[in-house]
């Protein structure tokens, strides 16, 4: 589990749509968590991966924003938002396997050229008939 400092997290509660009936109109149960990713002191590779994982959830100012409105209570939505945040950070720390460059064999190149020639000959036969 990743340790996220409380000083990096800002929570706001807002009115939610969805389940809850009349309760939705009265109580702000949805939670929006904003996390300053610079305060997390991530490793450079994890920071890069987190940026790609986050996508639109990350602002230009370096904040990660999660809005959760799945449950009827603040506590449940808050726990879910923190779980998602921790899950994303843990995933960012998992290194990708290095790709080993390979070259196609001579036979593979020959097969590719042969299929191109066959396709080309098939396409040449298509078209409008000539005026013989």
Q: 5 Cβ partners below 8 Å, 6+ apart?
A: 39, 40
pLDDT digits (tens, 9 = 90+) for 70-111: 887 888 888 888 888 888 888 888 888 888 999 999 999 999
CB atoms within 10 A of CB 46: 21
The residue among 35 and 6 whose pLDDT is bigger is 35
- Per-residue pLDDT at 16: 66
Indicate the number of domains in the chain: 1
Most confident range (mean pLDDT) of 13-17, 19-23, 60-64 is 60-64
Query: Is 37 a residue whose pLDDT tops 60?
Result: yes
Q: What is the 3-state secondary structure (H, E, C) of 15-38?
A: CCCCCCCCHHHHCCCEEEEEEEHH
The CATH number assigned to the domain holding 72 equals: 3.30.160.20
Determine, yes or no, domain membership for 39. yes
Contact 74, 26 (CB under 8 A): no
- Domain residues for 31? 6-93
């Amino acid at each position: 589990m990743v340790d996220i400092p409380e000083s990096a997290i800002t929570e706001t509660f807002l009115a939610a749509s969805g389940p809850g009936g009349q309760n939705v109109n009265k109580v702000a149960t949805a939670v929006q968590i904003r996390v300053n990713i610079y305060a997390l002191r991530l490793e450079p590779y994890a920071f890069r991966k987190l940026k790609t994982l986050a996508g639109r959830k990350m602002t230009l100012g370096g904040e990660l924003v999660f809005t959760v409105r799945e449950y009827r209570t603040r506590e449940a939505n808050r726990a879910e938002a923190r779980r998602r945040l921790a899950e994303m950070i843990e995933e960012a720390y998992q290194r990708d396997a290095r790709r080993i460059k390979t070259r196609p064999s001579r036979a593979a190149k020959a097969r590719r050229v042969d299929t191109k020639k066959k396709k080309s000959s098939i396409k040449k036969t298509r078209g409008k008939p000539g005026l013989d």
